[in-house]
Amino acid sequence: MTEHRGGLLPLALAAMAIAAPALAQTTITVQHPLPIASHYGAGVNGFKESLERATNGRYRVVAQRNDNEREAIESVQIGTVECYLGSTGPVGNFVPETRVFDVPFLFRDYAHARGVLDGEIGQQVLSRFSARGLLGVAWMENGFRHLTNSRREVHQPGDIRGMKVRTMENQVHMRAFTTLGALPTPMAFSELVPALQQGTVDGQENPIPVIVANNLNQVQRYLTLTGHVYSPGILICNPDVVARMSAADRAAFNAAAVAGRDANRAKVTADEESGIAALRARGMTVTTEVDRAAFQTALASAFQQYEREMDGALLRRIRDWQPGR
């Protein structure tokens, strides 16, 4: 520190220190289930950089790993953690309206999924969180899910008959695998690798970014590019996080969520482009010739049940969505 001999400067500095109100800093902890180098970590970092910059550090974002997504969401709901950024896998148990996005083969591609989630339909579903004591801030992305296993190559539905497949704690996914003749075994992500190592389950299903980020090639031999369901990500916060925000800070908070979403999706896109070659290089047998039409035909009875139990008209609106319409 530069020494100042005498003069008014020390007095002025002292007066400023006393006069300036202590700049209160608010910490927002965001729990995420995968390594910080993952597509979720990209989302948290994008959110962090944007919010801290826009508020000159009055808000500080702390990333904290928790690979039990249901537990993390419960913590946000009771207020011991401010926010969660991860998949919507268990979210249907908190906000049933989100299950409509878990229906297999509902979305054609990433543009379709992102367009629906960022548009009127996605925003309408986010508005349902408040009735459950949660704030649905913004959709993020996990990616299209693919099947891995250690028993055999899978090309068509009959190949997974009798296979013990770990699923998320997601009733829509579980019904699909039951309909295909597999044995769905729901568990938190935190239990997955031990279950695969011990042979408790034969396989699991996850997007390429998750398989790559967690080196699931070390415990799974076969990857089949089923793309059987799109897995949204989401940023959920406790409503108290924004309750006392000024309009300007709330605008900065929402803009930071969009920045996080864009960083998260960019990472998914990058992982999708490089991940399959990386998994082959790590020794996985990758099956690209998948009879998806046969999988959809085999799921017919499940689709009928989904139409009965969910908002069938909404399902058709999502399925028929086109950009700009």
Q: What is the largest CA-CA distance in the chain?
A: 87
Nearer to ligand EAX, 91 or 252 (CB): 91
Nearer to ligand EAX, 125 or 140 (CB): 140
Q: Can you give 269-299 as a three-state secondary structure string? A: HHHHHHHHHHHHHCCCEEECCCCHHHHHHHC
Asked if 230 contacts 107 with a C-beta cutoff of 8 angstroms, the reply is yes
The distance of closest approach from Cβ of residue 224 to ligand EAX in the complex, given in angstroms and rounded to an integer, is 16
> Residue 206: exposed, middle, or buried by beta-carbon count in 10 A (0-12, 13-18, 19+)?
buried
DSSP SS3 for 171: helix
- Closest of 83, 226, 239 to residue 147, by C-alpha: 226
Asked if 77 contacts 70 with a C-beta cutoff of 8 angstroms, the reply is no
Q: Write phi, then psi, for 261 (nearest 5 degrees).
A: -60, -45
Nearer to ligand EAX, 45 or 231 (CB): 231
The distance of closest approach from Cβ of residue 69 to ligand EAX in the complex, given in angstroms and rounded to an integer, is 6
The distance of closest approach from Cβ of residue 240 to ligand EAX in the complex, given in angstroms and rounded to an integer, is 25
The distance of closest approach from Cβ of residue 86 to ligand EAX in the complex, given in angstroms and rounded to an integer, is 5
Nearer to ligand EAX, 115 or 233 (CB): 233
H or E, element range at 316: helix 312-320
d(CA 15, CA 183): 71
Nearer to ligand EAX, 125 or 168 (CB): 168
Residues listed for the chain: 325
- Closest of 262, 254, 260 to residue 55, by C-alpha: 254
The distance of closest approach from Cβ of residue 171 to ligand EAX in the complex, given in angstroms and rounded to an integer, is 14
**What angle in degrees, to the nearest 10, is found between the helix axes of 39-54 and 247-281?**
150
Residues 6+ away with beta carbon under 8 Å from 267:
38, 39, 42, 43, 209
Nearer to ligand EAX, 39 or 52 (CB): 39
Nearer to ligand EAX, 84 or 306 (CB): 84
Nearer to ligand EAX, 210 or 212 (CB): 210
The distance of closest approach from Cβ of residue 160 to ligand EAX in the complex, given in angstroms and rounded to an integer, is 17
The distance of closest approach from Cβ of residue 185 to ligand EAX in the complex, given in angstroms and rounded to an integer, is 12
d(CA 217, CA 214): 8
The distance of closest approach from Cβ of residue 267 to ligand EAX in the complex, given in angstroms and rounded to an integer, is 13
- Give the residues lining the site for ligand EAX (CB under 6 A): 33-34, 69, 86-87, 89, 142, 168, 189, 206, 210, 231
